């Protein structure tokens, strides 16, 4: 991941909750999905390879992600989630860090922004 400015389009950002950042809090590796993530991934189950990185660092790690409806068998209640394989970037994540998710030329990027003072309690689209 380049250390200079990048343009992700489309993209969204969220401040991570403890259950999203620390697997020992929920024993899961996933981000809860809402409208902003649905605009990125749609309504169908999708498997992708994502590049995980930390803002300002050149290293990146590839990990599989799966977008899915965890309640697909319930006719009236959907609950979308973005599952990610464990990787060195997410091992560093802490509650309160921001996660920027978006595409660069069709490649999914998940960029961890540690200790960012700005807070995004839900997935927020970025214009």
The domains found in the chain, sorted by start residue, are 11-126 (2.40.330)
For the segment 2-28, what is each residue's pLDDT rounded down to a tens digit?
Answer: 455 678 888 999 989 888 887 666 657
Please state, rounded to an integer, the average pLDDT across all residues of the chain. 85
Residues (pLDDT < 70) of the chain are 1-5, 23-27, 33, 116-117, 119, 127
pTM score, two decimals?
A: 0.83
Element (H, E) at 47: strand 46-54
pLDDT at 76: 77
Give yes or no for a contact between 99 and 93, defined as CB atoms under 8 angstroms apart: yes
Pairing of strands 107-113, 46-54: parallel
pLDDT at 115: 80
pLDDT at 127: 64
Q: What's the rounded Cα separation, in Å, for the pair 108 and 114? A: 19
Q: What are phi and psi of 66, to 5 degrees?
A: -130, 125
């Amino acid at each position: 991941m380049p250390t200079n400015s990048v343009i992700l389009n489309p993209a969204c950002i969220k401040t991570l909750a403890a259950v999203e950042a620390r697997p020992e809090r929920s024993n899961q590796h996933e981000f809860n999905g809402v409208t902003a993530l649905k605009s990125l991934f749609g309504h169908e189950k999708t498997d992708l390879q994502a590049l995980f990185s930390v803002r300002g660092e050149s290293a990146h790690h590839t990990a599989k992600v799966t977008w899915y409806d965890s309640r697909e068998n319930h006719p009236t209640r959907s609950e979308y989630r973005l599952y990610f394989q464990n990787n060195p970037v997410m091992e560093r994540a802490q509650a309160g860090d921001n996660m920027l998710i978006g595409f660069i030329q069709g490649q999914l990027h998940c960029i961890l922004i540690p200790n960012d003072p700005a807070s995004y309690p839900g997935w927020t689209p970025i214009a």
